[in-house]
Structure 1
Amino acid sequence: MAGRQDTARRALVTGATGFTGGHLARALGERGYAVRALVRDLQAPKAQALAAVGIELVEGDVGDAPAMLRAAEGMTHIFHIAAVYRSANHPESYYFLINRDSVTHVLAAAQAHGVERVVHCSTCGVHGDVAEIPANENTAFKPGDVYQRSKLAGEEIARQAMAEGAPVSVVRPTGIYGPGDDRFLKLFRTVENGTFRMFGSGEIAYHLTYVDDMVQGLILAGEHPAAIGEVFLIGDEHYTTLNALVEKVAATLGVKPPRWKLPVAPLMAAATVCEFACRPLGIDPPLHRRRVAFFTKARAFSVDKAKTMLGFQPQVALEQGLARTAGWYRSMGYLKSTEAVQ
């Protein structure tokens, strides 16, 4: 692990084999923390990659209270990043097990072991399709799908603990992207090969966060004295529109931006049919309603609270972040090489 370990600061990271959790775990190690990761499979490649940089592995699942209790022993900090995201092949009960019930397990383990700080990672999605532009931490909740509902249920548990005096902070990220992420790969690929189609006007607001900036916000939430008992939206300093985002991706890739726009209603209808057809088979449908929401739901938030209270300052502009992400995709062979583009 890079950096000197400070045994006075010991952090448990859940979700460390995932995109954001992995970046956070490595950053904490570089910052001097002794880092422990709760992982389901000790031998999985992503878990072994963490071990290779000096991160301690503990086997277990966030939905299992005894496993969480064991993992939290001796920790000064817990960063609860693990979540089940937008996959349609899970029953709703599984979303609530991971996104809600795990919060109870984390808080109980933290209390049992005297953990000094807990950071719970929620989502800006608890606000749903925002009418207030930009929305802030006090904007009304309007979750639009099972992921958002289950994340809100988990956040409510964390906020109740805060109200009772627990040393907890809640972070609501906007859309996280960067090297190591594959959620935006389809956007990059379809823009590159000319098959991308905008559904709807494309003027809907969208808000991204480069992963390094997200990690900065999470660490500030776990270290700054003012963060205890508070909720923070973390994102880029500026939101954009889908049209502008697609144009920037095209410029990054050196291709012409797509111009075709199609109505969104038929796509939503197709997604609904696809979901109901695939659900009895227990498979993740290639198209579902939560993906269509990308084209229809406004995402635009103020990060002023985090800037004012924590000193949060986004460092990576959208154009720079997209370039870094495209570079990683190319290095992995997911996109054409630079030579091929030229």
Structure 2
Amino acid sequence: MKVLITGGTGFIGTRLALKCLEKGDKVRLLGQVNNAAEEGNRDLVERQGGEIVIGSVTDKDVIDKAIEGVEIVYHLAAAQHEANVPDQHFWEVNVAGTRNLLEASRKDNVKRFVHGSTIGVYGAAMEGEIDEDTPLQPDNIYGITKREGEKLVLSYKDRLPVVIIRISETYGPGDRRLLKLLKAIDKKMFFMIGKGDNRHQLIFVDDLIEGLWLAAKNDEALGQVFVLAGKEILTTNQMVATIAKVLGVTQRKLRAPLWPFLITAVVMENLLRPLHIQPPLHRRRMDFFKKSFCFSQDKSSSILKFEPKTSFEDGIVATAQWYKEHNYL
């Protein structure tokens, strides 16, 4: 198949591209090169035979070039972690950019449009098990615009074969966000903020890719929304303990209350965001210690036949090895 991956120079997009190339697909990436990590990802995919189109989903001319001849679109591009830009940027990328790609896909008769959404559409911590029908209550501009992007995608389901995947916290080789946590634990500089009893259901990147592939070929999935999450539910305390075990270090038992960090994050955002400066601490960064989720996998299992295979410990072993091979850890 000929596939287009937007956000293709990011962590998930790059890993998906490499796996698609391994199985013989022709791969084209639409992405940007704003930092050394994205530059390295672009070079890696090009060396493996992938085609790169540099640009944004906000540029219709770039999309028209990227979509030509494509059969499957994996739409992963998003404004996500930027805390130094106005809200309008999120609307332009996550909503208007998605509309641009949907319209181009419709005109070019794309066979499947797999839209990468996020568990961020659910908002803050919720009691009980969450599924695809749980009411959405996003609590930041990223989640709000991703929810609106989902609505837009579903509005095309009678004109385009679409599937929406809500992606849980993702980690694995190539990920650099978890690197800060592993470095801190490895250097015995990590301390817990809050009680550490909030829950995570992370997904290993290769398991996620398997789920995306299933969404791209299962006709029963058309027009539907699925949550893809990992096989284990772990508290932050359990995550840290597992990472320390894999790295062979003894944890420090330091702990700090959550509320001073949340207040500091709000102050930094209010002071620095109008100046277009990325705050060193912001509210979304504190979600790791605050948000708590547990997801049902009934729908993804019964319709997509999706079953995550990688335990968190095995995934951390693979991730830590990648960090060491690249001299990050």
- Matching residue within 263, 269, 272 for 1:278: 272
Match of 1:11 in 2: 3
Q: CA deviation at 1:49?
A: 2.2
Match of 2:232 in 1: 238
Letter of the 2:10 counterpart:
G
**Aligned to 1:219, what secondary structure does the other structure show?**
helix
- Matching residue within 312, 316, 319 for 1:318: 312
Q: CA deviation at 1:58?
A: 2.3
Size of the aligned set, in residue pairs, is 326
Distance 2:97 2:137 in 1: 22
Q: Equivalent residues in 2 for 1:1-342 (5 A)? A: 9-40=1-32, 44-162=39-157, 164-335=158-329
For residues 98-134 of structure 1, give each alpha carbon's deviation from its aligned partner in whole angstroms, at most 9, with x where no partner exists. 1111110111011110111000000011011242322
Percent of aligned pairs sharing the same letter: 36
For residues 8-47 of structure 1, give each alpha carbon's deviation from its aligned partner in whole angstroms, at most 9, with x where no partner exists. x211111111100011111112222111111345994432
Distance 1:71 1:258 in 2: 49
Distance 1:85 1:51 in 2: 25
Q: CA deviation at 1:75?
A: 0.9
Letter of the 1:190 counterpart:
A
Q: CA deviation at 1:281?
A: 3.0
Letter of the 2:272 counterpart:
C
Which runs of 5 or more residues in structure 1 are unaligned? 1-8, 336-342
Q: CA deviation at 1:146?
A: 1.2
- Comparing 133-142 and 269-278, the one that deviates more: 269-278
Alignment TM-score, normalising by the size of structure 2: 0.95
Alignment TM-score, normalising by the size of structure 1: 0.91
Q: CA deviation at 1:202?
A: 0.8
Distance 1:129 1:147 in 2: 13
Distance 2:258 2:186 in 1: 22
Q: CA deviation at 1:259?
A: 2.1
Distance 2:256 2:63 in 1: 47
For residues 54-106 of structure 1, give each alpha carbon's deviation from its aligned partner in whole angstroms, at most 9, with x where no partner exists. 11222331111222122111111111011122221222111111111111011
Distance 2:274 2:112 in 1: 42
Letter of the 2:274 counterpart:
P
Distance 1:320 1:48 in 2: 28
Q: CA deviation at 1:334?
A: 2.0
Letter of the 2:285 counterpart:
R
Distance 2:325 2:7 in 1: 25
Distance 1:204 1:117 in 2: 36
Asked if structure 1 preserves the Cα contact closer than 8 Å seen for 2:231 and 2:309, the reply is: no
Q: CA deviation at 1:261?
A: 2.1
Letter of the 2:65 counterpart:
R
Distance 1:270 1:58 in 2: 40
**Aligned to 1:12, what secondary structure does the other structure show?**
strand
Distance 2:31 2:258 in 1: 39
Asked if structure 2 preserves the Cα contact closer than 8 Å seen for 1:11 and 1:33, the reply is: yes
Letter of the 2:318 counterpart:
R
Which runs of 5 or more residues in structure 2 are unaligned? none
Letter of the 1:17 counterpart:
T
Distance 1:270 1:139 in 2: 31
Distance 1:72 1:132 in 2: 42
For residues 187-225 of structure 1, give each alpha carbon's deviation from its aligned partner in whole angstroms, at most 9, with x where no partner exists. 111112222121211111111010000111111111112
For residues 235-279 of structure 1, give each alpha carbon's deviation from its aligned partner in whole angstroms, at most 9, with x where no partner exists. 112221111111111111111123222211111111112222222
**Aligned to 1:141, what secondary structure does the other structure show?**
coil
Distance 1:291 1:320 in 2: 25
Distance 1:22 1:156 in 2: 26
